Amino acid sequence: MARILVVEDNHDLAFGLRTILEFEGHEVEVAEDGPEGSKQAATWKPELIILDLMLPRKSGYEVLRELRTQGDRMPVLILTARSEEQDVVLGFDSGADDYVTKPFSTLELLARVRALLRRASHEPDDEPRPPERFGAVEVDVSARVVRRNSEVVELTPKEFDLLAALLERRGAVASRADLLTKVWQYGNADVPTRTVDVHIAELRRKLEADPSKPSHILTVRKAGYRLKV
């Protein structure tokens, strides 16, 4: 059982989410606008937040950036009615861990909730590792710091985890299902999602000299992705 805060201004959807999550055994609180979401996150200290991006009085983006600025690291699953990739990317840049696009299935939502909670409870490996390098990029896995041309590159937590997972493959191909299981801890990696593709696109934008013609973060047709080191 986990404490889950749902920040959603659609009353029917919020009621449905509460019912589904409580049936799974979770303790659920609901906030119906941005300021109330920020307040409940600060006072109730949930273990997971399900956050709509389009909220009255304060947007989900603002709530999320505020949480991360204050140092709150609980996983956040964002809800968006938009299918525009850039809106999803902005959510990740603001500190989101995963997303679902409305309308979504109960199966998909619960799979992502379980994955985020498993991920949050995982103890990190504190054993130091030497920096990894490819091209102009240096990755200090232990410190979770990435530099390109000696300049620090800001990656979201999931972007870094995805990069580390590709590094571990030592050039071997990783399928989307493998990456969903490794990085997002999905128990059912067959759940339809573009999460991996969106994160790959952001890694290329931040780390490749020409994101449209990547030299290192490569797509392997009908197989997945690999990192050319």
Query: CA nearest 95: which of 144, 61, 119, 48?
Result: 61
**Dist. CA 183–CA 179, nearest whole Å:** 6
Range name among 28-37, 105-114, 118-127 with the lowest pLDDT average:
118-127
Instruction: Give residues with Cβ within 8 angstroms of 101, minimum separation 6.
Output: 79, 80, 81, 82, 83, 88
**pLDDT tens sequence across 124-149:** 544 566 888 999 999 998 888 999 99
DSSP 25: T
**Runs of H (alpha helix) within the chain:** 11-23, 34-44, 60-69, 85-93, 106-121, 157-168, 176-184, 195-207
- Residue 31's pLDDT band, with cuts at 50, 70 and 90, is very high
Residue among 19, 61, 12 at smallest CA distance from 37: 61
What CA–CA distance (Å, rounded) separates 178 from 184?
A: 10
pLDDT tens string 186-215: 655 555 568 899 999 999 999 999 999 999
Alpha-carbon distance of 30 to 22, in angstroms, equals: 12
| Domain spans in the chain, listed from the N-terminal domain onward | 3-121, 132-227
Q: Do domains 3-121 and 132-227 have the same CATH topology?
A: no
One DSSP character per residue, 50-107 reads: EEESS-SSS-HHHHHHHHHHTT----EEEEES---HHHHHHHHHTT-SEEEESS--HH
Residue 71: the pLDDT is 82
CATH of 3-121, picked from 2.60.120.10, 3.90.1150.10, 3.30.110.60, 3.40.50.2300, is: 3.40.50.2300
Tokens 């909220």 appear where?
55
Residue 70, pLDDT > 70, answer yes
By the 8 A CB rule, do 8 and 30 touch? Answer: yes
| The CATH number of the domain covering residues in 132-227 | 1.10.10.10
pTM listed for this prediction: 0.64
Contact criterion met (CB below 8 Å) for 228 and 177: no
